[in-house]
Amino acid sequence: MESKPLRPSMKADYYSILEISPVATDEVAHAAYRALAKLYSDDGAKMRALNEAKETILDKDKREEYDAERKVKKGKIIGNYRVISEIAEGGFGTTMARASGVSPEMKCVIAVLTNLRPHPTIQHLRIADVAGHQVVVGDHYEKNTLGIFIPEGALVSDKLAEEMWIKGKLAGKQKNRVKASERDGVRSEGLFYGSRFWTLHEGQRVYQAGPSWNPHWKDGDDVTEEIGVTFKFA
C-alpha cells in the first residue's frame, strides 16, 4: 500500500495522524487508532506513526505535555478557515487565510472521493478526503467516486437536499446552510454529492446515478450555478 511520506517524529501532529480532533476523548482516539491500524496493517511507516501517536495521546501525562508544547488552539471555522481563538473570542477576528490575502472558497467543484476509511464510532459512516478537505459520508459511496464537493457556507436547494437525505438537517434559519461540524472527535468540512451510490436489493449491491449528476462533468469543474447553490458566511 502506497503512503504519503511522514513528517519527522519531533514535528508530528499526532491528532492529524489519528485523524481526530484535539479535543477528542480517549475512547474516540482509541477507536480511531483501531480503525486505522486495521486499514494500514501492511504499511510499516504508517503503523510506526500510528503507534507513536497512540502512545502519546492515550497517556494522560504525555498528552498534557504534548498539548502544552503544541499550544492547541480550539478556535472555530468561518468559511473554510480556522479562526485564531484568541482573536475570535470577542466576536471579532480574521481568518488565517484572509490575513494572508486568500479568499474563502465559494464554489462547488467536481472532485474524487479518496482515502475512504471507517468512522471510529459510527458503523454506517465513512471518513474521506475530497478537494483537499475531510468529509464524513455514508457507506453507500465507494472510494474514487467522482462527485461534487459542497463547502461550508453553501446554501443548498431543497431538491439537492432531498436527494442527499439532509433536507431540514443543515444550519441556518432555513436549515439549508452547510456548516463544518464535528461529531465524536471527527470533523467534516463540507458535503459530498456522488455521481453514483449503491443500495442493497435482495442482498446484492445495486448502483444508481445521482439524480442531479451530469455525466459531462469532469474533475475540477465549477458547478455551483448548475446545481443551484449560493453562498452565505456567518
List the pLDDT tens digit at each of the 234 positions of the chain: 444 443 334 457 888 888 887 877 887 888 888 888 888 888 888 899 999 999 999 999 999 888 888 764 444 443 433 333 333 333 333 333 333 333 346 899 999 999 999 999 999 999 999 988 999 999 999 999 999 999 989 999 999 999 999 999 999 899 999 998 888 889 899 999 999 999 988 889 999 999 999 999 999 999 999 999 998 755
Assigned fold of 105-231: OB fold (Dihydrolipoamide Acetyltransferase, E2P) (2.40.50)
Q: Which residues contact 72 (CB under 8 A, 6 or more apart)?
A: 22
Quote the CATH superfamily of domain 9-70.
Answer: DnaJ domain (1.10.287.110)
Query: Where, residue-wise, is CATH 2.40.50 in the chain?
Result: 105-231
Distance CA 181, CA 136 (A): 10
Burial class (CB in 10 A: 0-12, 13-18, 19+), 19: buried
pTM over 0.95: no
Residue range(s) of every CATH 1.10.287.110 domain in the chain: 9-70
DSSP 98: H
